[in-house]
Structure 1
Amino acid sequence: MRQRQIFGTVFTLEAIVAGGVFLVILGVLAWVLARRRSEVSDRPERPRLEAFYVGALAAFAVFLVAWTAWQNHREHHTADPAPLRVDVTGFQWCWTFGYPQSPAHRSVTGTCKGKDIPTLVVPTGRTVQLRLTSRDVIHSLWVPDLRYKMDAFPHHVNTFTLTLDRAGRWRGRCAEFCGQRHSTMDFWIKAVPPREYDRWAHGGSAAV
């Protein structure tokens, strides 16, 4: 999946940079301590090392911010001028998925009690725009296996796009503590072939 690949690339690079900076800092610290113990001078040293250190950290910071922003743009960029829209509403303690573009005006909800878990149905190979909001408190839509996560706020709409390139079903959950039954606030996201999705969007039941 595109999102998961981008997330893995960014995480790997940032982990390598962070580990390298940490090792360099340890090495410089050890060198400075050893040098100052072996030298006695009445003159204050010129702050060349400190200036180099600050400059190097600033360069790494600028690189990481620019790199992450670029990858974030790649993640959410879509060439599809008319993505499929799904309205996602979190509430205590479950989810509602509305399909305003569906000919049958499909809407999926549940109670998140026992097996009554709603399913977010999307077609494979097509850009889907999720519009998240909340009916009461802050919730967070999270699909761990796909690396998707975004908060849902009351009186506000957050949007992001996703494209799933293969059929499958993945478990999602709320990642923001929202009250007594937060731990049961799960859902499924299911990607199906376009023809199967079209049948479902017109009122069929094959996709769920």
Structure 2
Amino acid sequence: MIQRRVFGTVFTLESAVAAFVFLVVLALVCHAVVRRRAGRQPTPSDRPQRPVLEKYYVGVLAAFAAFLVAWTAWQNHEEHRPPNRTPVRVDVMGFQWCWKFGYPQSPAKVSVTGTCRGKDLPTLVVPTGRPVELRLTSNDVIHSLWVPDLRYKMDAFPDHVNTFTLTLDHEGRWRGRCAEFCGERHYAMDFWIKAVSPEEYDRYLHGQPIGTGTGTAT
């Protein structure tokens, strides 16, 4: 999954840079504390400033900042490359307190929902290897579609449509949830996202079930 790979790469690199900077600063602080420990009489410098040292300091910080900005922008570009084929579309509606998934390209007009109570969780079915455009909106308050394992999250607003495109490269099932506090049963507002083969997905669009746990189809 591109999103998860890019997120992992950026997080690992930026964490390593942050750790390196932290250790350097910690070492300098410890060195200063040891040099000026109690009982020692340091000789004050007669120089009001150190322009060469300050230039090096500013240069190193600028280099780190420029690198991180350029790296992050490049990875963001890699993550959001335009799809090489027309994406399939799924309409996602959040409501208090569950989800509804509609497939406007389905000849059978497949629509899936649930109550998000117990095991009655709706399943968002997508094909592997094909870009999928999710169009998110809300029927009442702000919700947020979040799939932690895949690193996808986007808010769903009333009277507004947010979109993002994902591509899953292998079959599987992952749990998603609402990441925006939306009321009394926010904690139970979960769903499944299930990636199936393109052939099975096409059969699903024609109204053939793919198994249990897909909520209530209408």
The residue number in structure 2 matching 1:14 is 14
**TM-score, scaled relative to structure 2:** 0.86
**Which among 50, 64, 70 is matched to residue 54 of structure 2?**
50
Deviation readout 1:155-194 (Å, 9 max, x if unpaired): 3222211111111111110111111101000000001111
Displacement of 1:48: 3.4
Displacement of 1:33: 5.6
The residue number in structure 1 matching 2:27 is 27
Counterpart CA distance in 1 for 2:57 and 2:172 is 49
Work out whether 1:170 is the aligned partner of 2:170: no
Deviation readout 1:140-164 (Å, 9 max, x if unpaired): 1111111111222223222211111
**TM-score, scaled relative to structure 1:** 0.90
Q: Which moved more, 1:149-158 or 1:106-115?
A: 149-158
Structure 1 residues 25-174: aligned runs within 5 Å: 25-31=25-31, 38-174=42-178
1:19/1:114 CA distance change after superposition, 3 Å: same
Deviation readout 1:44-68 (Å, 9 max, x if unpaired): 1224333432332232122212212
Counterpart CA distance in 2 for 1:184 and 1:54 is 50
**3-state SS of 2:201 partner:** helix
Displacement of 1:99: 1.1
Q: Which moved more, 1:80-89 or 1:58-67?
A: 58-67
**3-state SS of 1:38 partner:** coil
**3-state SS of 1:190 partner:** strand
Counterpart CA distance in 2 for 1:155 and 1:63 is 39
**3-state SS of 1:141 partner:** strand
Larger radius of gyration: 2
**3-state SS of 1:102 partner:** coil
**3-state SS of 1:125 partner:** coil
Work out whether 1:197 is the aligned partner of 2:201: yes
Matched pairs, number? 208
Superposition misfits of 4+ residues, deviation over 3 angstroms: 28-39
Query: Does the CA-based 8 Å contact 1:78-1:127 persist in structure 2?
Result: no
Counterpart CA distance in 2 for 1:89 and 1:191 is 19
Displacement of 1:201: 0.2
**3-state SS of 2:54 partner:** helix
Q: Which moved more, 1:29-38 or 1:4-13?
A: 29-38
Q: CA RMSD in A?
A: 2.0
Gaps of 5+ in 2: none
